[in-house]
Amino acid sequence: QLQLAESGGGSVQPGGSLRLSCATSEFTFDSYAIGWFRQAPGQDREGVSCMTVSGNEIDYADPVKGRFTMSRDNAKNIVYLQMNTLKPEDTAVYYCAAERNLYSCNLFESAVAYWGKGTLVSVSS
């Protein structure tokens, strides 16, 4: 069973940056699209970004476009989420997710086959 482990969360002031990492238990990127989701207190989980198997297409949710960048290191089996210009509304638990999809990626929970346990990001002054 594929395992995903997030790290890199923490507390930061508005305008600051964090980089989240998602380490996978095996080479994943030829079979699974990888995504980042988040769940703020009292709210539903929402998709943040996702990357296709090819790595050529990355999709971002509107609230994070221009501020967040997703990337991956094939040699290390790690996916990253660079988060810049953080806002208080970015406060949430961030989850890494894998979707069985060879051709595209989706920002929907229903498409996810595997989840990480999450890492907390807190943005406040």
Phi, psi for 47 (deg, rounded to 5): -75, 140
pLDDT digits 0-9 by tens, 14-37:
999 999 999 998 877 888 999 999
| pLDDT for 114 | 95
| pLDDT for 62 | 97
Percent of the chain whose pLDDT exceeds 90: 83
Q: What is the DSSP letter of 42?
A: T
Q: What is the DSSP letter of 45?
A: -
Strands (E), 17-73: 18-24, 32-39, 46-51, 58-60, 68-73
